[in-house]
């Protein structure tokens, strides 16, 4: 496991998982939200972002946290492992709402500085429809990359058990 992509709906816990994988593996961590957003939630030029992130994908070792379907094929072409958080919508929405309330007004550690957490109905709607609109496309994209080791989790408890197993493997001499 040298190049790991972590994908899934907003609110699924991609950033949290990525930090845990970083702690277990020591692989460098790249947050796509940090690469994408400019201060004040300003979107960059799409070509500039794509060029910058495609360059990051060429590095030898990484964990890339974020969905960003527009760069998924390029990411998967270089990745060897994918963690797919395929959680039900209600779990993602509950987690997202909790994050928005608890961290409201605070900068997110996985985003550029000057991007405080905020409550956005438009974003909540995006998450509410994410699985319905994106699930089949995600599976199709994964299928185009048969070289990948894919770990797909339908519930956080399954992921927790897998992470515990990984920690035990690392700690065993």
Over residues 141-163, the pLDDT tens digits come to 999 999 999 999 999 999 999 99
Question: Of all helices (H) and strands (E), which one includes residue 158?
Answer: helix 156-171
Superfamily name and number for 3-171: P-loop containing nucleotide triphosphate hydrolases (3.40.50.300)
**What average pLDDT is seen over the chain?**
92
Over residues 20-51, the pLDDT tens digits come to 999 999 999 999 988 888 888 888 888 988 99
Domain ranges of the chain: 3-171
What whole-number percentage of the chain has pLDDT above 90?
A: 69
Mention every residue, 6+ apart, whose C-beta is less than 8 A from residue 150: 81, 82, 84, 142
Tokens 């816990």, located at residue = 13
Distance CA 171, CA 87 (A): 29
């Amino acid at each position: 496991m040298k190049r790991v992509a972590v994908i899934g709906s907003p609110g699924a816990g991609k950033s949290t998982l990525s930090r845990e994988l970083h702690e277990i593996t020591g692989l460098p961590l790249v947050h796509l939200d940090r690469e994408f957003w400019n201060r004040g939630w300003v979107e960059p030029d799409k070509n500039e972002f794509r060029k910058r992130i495609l360059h990051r994908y060429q590095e030898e070792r990484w964990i890339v946290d974020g969905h960003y379907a527009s760069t998924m094929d390029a990411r998967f072409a270089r990745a060897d492992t994918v963690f797919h958080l395929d959680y039900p919508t209600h779990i993602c929405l509950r987690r997202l709402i909790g994050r928005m309330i608890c961290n409201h007004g605070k900068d997110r550690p996985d985003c550029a500085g000057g991007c405080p957490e905020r409550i956005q109905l438009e974003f909540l709607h995006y998450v509410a429809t994410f699985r319905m609109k994106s699930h089949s496309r995600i599976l199709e994209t994964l299928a185009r990359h048969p070289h990948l080791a894919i770990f797909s989790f339908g519930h956080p408890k399954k992921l927790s058990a897998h992470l515990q197993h990984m920690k035990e493997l690392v700690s065993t001499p």
